[in-house]
Structure 1
Amino acid sequence: MNFDGEDLSHKALGDRLPQGETHVFRECDLTETDLWGASLAGARFESCVLEQTDFRKADLDGAVFKGGGGMGIRFSDADLIDASFTDVDLSSARFGGALLTDVSFTGCRMIGASLTGSRGTGFKVARSNLTLANLGGCSLRGEVIEGVRFDDADLSGCDFTQATLSDCRLIGARLLLTKFQQADLRGADLGQPDDDRLRAFAGAVINQTQANAILAARGITVL
């Protein structure tokens, strides 16, 4: 079923969409639309307004989100296996309890988003802004992460083991019990190198410039 340019805001559609069909939403207004528990496997959302849209417990396996978005989208407890988000505004989105196996976020605005408590084997993120986001306990183990801002994000308990961070920023990020063993951080801005952050970076690979900055902060000059 296709929806083109329709105003579906404030409607309860969760149990009204036919099952067994692939639904396509193009340039629709889904502000505060109730899609709780909806069958949306393989659905496409193209340039849709998704302000406060409720996708809780929805089946979004393989769904494609491209452009559009909005504040406070709710994905709690949804199934998002193989879903993809490209150039979507996911600011303050909630993913607690969602199944995020093999989900990709590319070019997304995810300021203040909460992915803590999500399930699955991990997700991919690139060229996205996760400033002030909460990723507590998430796994990005072995991932190649490029162009991501984690400024002031809560990365407590995250697993970055063997990950590669390129053109990324970790300025002000909370790193309590975060794992960076064998992670390649040579392309990352590590922020102020205080003792707590250095403990988190134990086992990681850094470059000479980063090492010099750490030593200089402690009054040590390398010649």
Structure 2
Amino acid sequence: MNFDGEDLSHTSLTDRLEPDETHTFRSCDLTETDLWGASLAGARFESCVLERTDFRKADLDGASFSGGGGTGIRFVDADLVDVTFTDVDLSAAHFGGALLTDASFTGCRLIGASLTGSRGTGFRVSGSNLTLANLGGCSLRGELIEGVRFDDADLAGCDFTGATFSDSRLRGARLLKTVFAKADLRGADLGDCDDDRVRALAGATINHAQAAAILAARGINVI
């Protein structure tokens, strides 16, 4: 079933969705639309307004979102396995309890988003802005993290074991009990590193310039 350019805001769509069909939404207004528990596996959302859209407990397995978006989207307890988000505004989105196994975020705006409490074996993120986001306890083991801003994000308890950072930023990020074992941080802007942040980087690989900056901040010159 296709929805093209429709104003579906402030409505409940559950009764309009056909079972066992793949749904496509193009340039629709889904502001505060109720899709709680909806069956949307494989659905496509293209350039839709998603301001405070309610996807709680929805089945979005294999769905794709491209363009559009909005603030405060609710994905709490949703099935987001294999979902792709491309160039979507997900600012202040809520993912608590969502199953994010193999989900991917590319070119997305995730400022202030909350992914803490999400479930699954890990997700992928690239070219995205996660400034002030909360990823507490998330796993990005072995991932290539390219072009990602984690400025002032809460990364407490995150697992970056074996991850590789490229053209990314960790300035001001909270690193309490964050795991960087065997991670390659040579492509990351670490920002100012106090003693607690240096300890959090244990097991990671950094470059000469990063090490020199850390030591210079402690009055030690590297020649």
TM score, norm. by length of structure 1: 0.99
CA distance in 1, matches of 2:22, 2:81: 16
Deviations 1:154-201 (A, max 9, x none): 000000010001111000100000000110000000010110100100
The answer (yes or no) to whether the contact 1:15–1:38 under 8 Å persists in 2 is no
- Tell me the equivalent position of 1:191: 191
CA distance in 2, matches of 1:83, 1:64: 6
- Tell me the equivalent position of 1:125: 125
What's the offset of the Cα at 1:37?
0.3
What's the offset of the Cα at 1:114?
0.3
The code of the aligned residue for 2:195 comes to D
What's the offset of the Cα at 1:15?
3.7
The code of the aligned residue for 1:99 comes to L
- Tell me the equivalent position of 2:100: 100
Deviations 1:4-61 (A, max 9, x none): 0000000011243111000000000000000000000000000000000000000000
The code of the aligned residue for 1:119 comes to R
CA distance in 1, matches of 2:222, 2:195: 19
- Tell me the equivalent position of 1:156: 156
Q: CA RMSD for the aligned pairs?
A: 0.5
Gaps of 5+ in 1: none
CA distance in 1, matches of 2:200, 2:168: 16
Deviations 1:107-146 (A, max 9, x none): 0000000000000000000000000000000000000000
- Tell me the equivalent position of 2:178: 178
Runs of 4+ with deviation above 2 angstroms:
none
What's the offset of the Cα at 1:222?
1.2
- Tell me the equivalent position of 1:65: 65
CA distance in 2, matches of 1:189, 1:196: 17
Secondary structure of 1:197's aligned partner: helix
- Tell me the equivalent position of 1:201: 201
TM score, norm. by length of structure 2: 0.99
Secondary structure of 1:184's aligned partner: coil
- Tell me the equivalent position of 2:89: 89
The answer (yes or no) to whether the contact 1:127–1:147 under 8 Å persists in 2 is yes
> Aligned pairs, how many?
223
- Tell me the equivalent position of 1:21: 21
The code of the aligned residue for 1:121 comes to T
The answer (yes or no) to whether the contact 1:115–1:136 under 8 Å persists in 2 is yes
The answer (yes or no) to whether the contact 1:15–1:37 under 8 Å persists in 2 is no
CA distance in 2, matches of 1:19, 1:137: 35
CA distance in 1, matches of 2:201, 2:50: 37
CA distance in 2, matches of 1:157, 1:67: 31
Secondary structure of 2:167's aligned partner: strand
CA distance in 2, matches of 1:204, 1:119: 25
The answer (yes or no) to whether the contact 1:50–1:69 under 8 Å persists in 2 is yes
Secondary structure of 1:213's aligned partner: helix
